[in-house]
Structure 1
Amino acid sequence: MLPDMPTRLFVATPTKLMTFADCKRKYRYTYLERPRPPKGPAWAHNTVGGIVHEVLADFFGRWPASRRTPDEVVARIRVGWRDEGFRDEVQSLDWRERATEMVLGYLRESDPYYEPRGVERTVAFTTARASLRGRIDRVDERPARSGDGTELVIVDYKTGRRPLTSTDARSSLAMALYVLGARRVLHRPCTRVELHHLPTNTVAAADHDDDSLARHQRRAESIVDDAAAAESRWAEGLTPAEADEAFPPEPSPLCGWCDFARICPQGRRVAPPRDPWAGLEDLPPTEALD
Structure 2
Amino acid sequence: MTEPTTPPPAQGSFPGMPERLYVASPSRLLAYVDCPRRYRLQYLDRPKPTPAPQRAHTSLGIAVHNTLRDWWDLPAQQWSASRAMELVRASWVATGFRDEAMSRRWLERSQRHVVDYLRGLSPANRPIGVERTVSLRTGSIIVQGRIDRLDDRPTSDGGRALVVVDYKTSRRTSTEQELRTSLPMALYAVAVGAMFRRSCVDVELHHVPSSTVVRHRHTTESLQRKVAEAESIAADLKRADADYAERGVESPHFPPRLSALCGWCDFRAHCAEGAAHAPEQSPWAALEPDTAPAPGQGRASPAD
Residue 187 of structure 2 corresponds to which residue in structure 1?
177
Residue 78 of structure 2 corresponds to which residue in structure 1?
67
Partner Cα distance (2:302, 2:284) in 1:
15
Tell me how far 1:163 sits from its aligned partner.
1.5
Q: Secondary structure at the match of 1:4?
A: coil
1:262-273 mapped onto 2 (5 Å cutoff): 262-273=269-280
Residue 139 of structure 2 corresponds to which residue in structure 1?
128
Residue 144 of structure 1 corresponds to which residue in structure 2?
155
Counterpart among 249, 259, 269 of residue 252 in structure 1: 259
1:178-193 mapped onto 2 (5 Å cutoff): 178-193=188-203
Tell me how far 1:237 sits from its aligned partner.
3.9
Partner Cα distance (1:191, 1:179) in 2:
6
Which digits, 9 at most, give the CA deviation of each residue in 1:223-276, with x for residues without a partner? 0000010101122243x4x23x22111111111111011221111222111100
1:30–1:36 CA contact under 8 A, matched in 2: yes
Which digits, 9 at most, give the CA deviation of each residue in 1:197-230, with x for residues without a partner? 1121111111100111111111111100000101
- Does residue 119 (structure 1) correspond to residue 130 (structure 2)? The answer is yes
Residue 169 of structure 2 corresponds to which residue in structure 1?
159
Q: Secondary structure at the match of 1:162?
A: coil
2:26–2:183 CA contact under 8 A, matched in 1: yes
Amino acid at match of 1:39: P
2:171–2:303 CA contact under 8 A, matched in 1: no
- Unaligned runs of 5+ residues in structure 2 are 1-12, 290-296
Residue 14 of structure 2 corresponds to which residue in structure 1?
2
Amino acid at match of 1:161: R
Partner Cα distance (2:23, 2:50) in 1:
24
Which digits, 9 at most, give the CA deviation of each residue in 1:94-119, with x for residues without a partner? 00001101100100122133310110
Identity of aligned residues (%): 43
Partner Cα distance (1:67, 1:5) in 2:
56
Counterpart among 92, 105, 109 of residue 94 in structure 1: 105
Partner Cα distance (2:197, 2:172) in 1:
34
Tell me how far 1:286 sits from its aligned partner.
4.9
Q: Secondary structure at the match of 2:116?
A: helix
- Does residue 20 (structure 1) correspond to residue 32 (structure 2)? The answer is yes
Partner Cα distance (2:44, 2:224) in 1:
29
- Does residue 285 (structure 1) correspond to residue 275 (structure 2)? The answer is no
Q: Report the structure number with the largest CA radius of gyration.
A: 2
Residue 230 of structure 2 corresponds to which residue in structure 1?
220
1:262–1:273 CA contact under 8 A, matched in 2: no
- Does residue 80 (structure 1) correspond to residue 87 (structure 2)? The answer is no
Residue 201 of structure 1 corresponds to which residue in structure 2?
211
Residue 30 of structure 1 corresponds to which residue in structure 2?
42
Residue 236 of structure 1 corresponds to which residue in structure 2?
246
Which digits, 9 at most, give the CA deviation of each residue in 1:107-136, with x for residues without a partner? 012213331011001111111110011111
| Compared CA separation, residues 216 and 247, structure 1 to 2 (3 A) | same
Tell me how far 1:70 sits from its aligned partner.
1.5
Q: Secondary structure at the match of 2:201?
A: strand
Amino acid at match of 2:20: R
Normalising by structure 1, we get a TM-score of 0.93
Residue 10 of structure 2 corresponds to which residue in structure 1?
none
- Unaligned runs of 5+ residues in structure 1 are none
Tell me how far 1:148 sits from its aligned partner.
4.3
Amino acid at match of 1:49: G
| Compared CA separation, residues 285 and 180, structure 1 to 2 (3 A) | farther
Residue 55 of structure 1 corresponds to which residue in structure 2?
67
Amino acid at match of 2:241: E
Q: Between Structure 1 and Structure 2, how many residues are aligned?
A: 283
Poorly superposed stretches of 4+, deviation over 4 Å = none
1:158–1:287 CA contact under 8 A, matched in 2: no
Partner Cα distance (1:181, 1:13) in 2:
12
Partner Cα distance (2:223, 2:86) in 1:
41
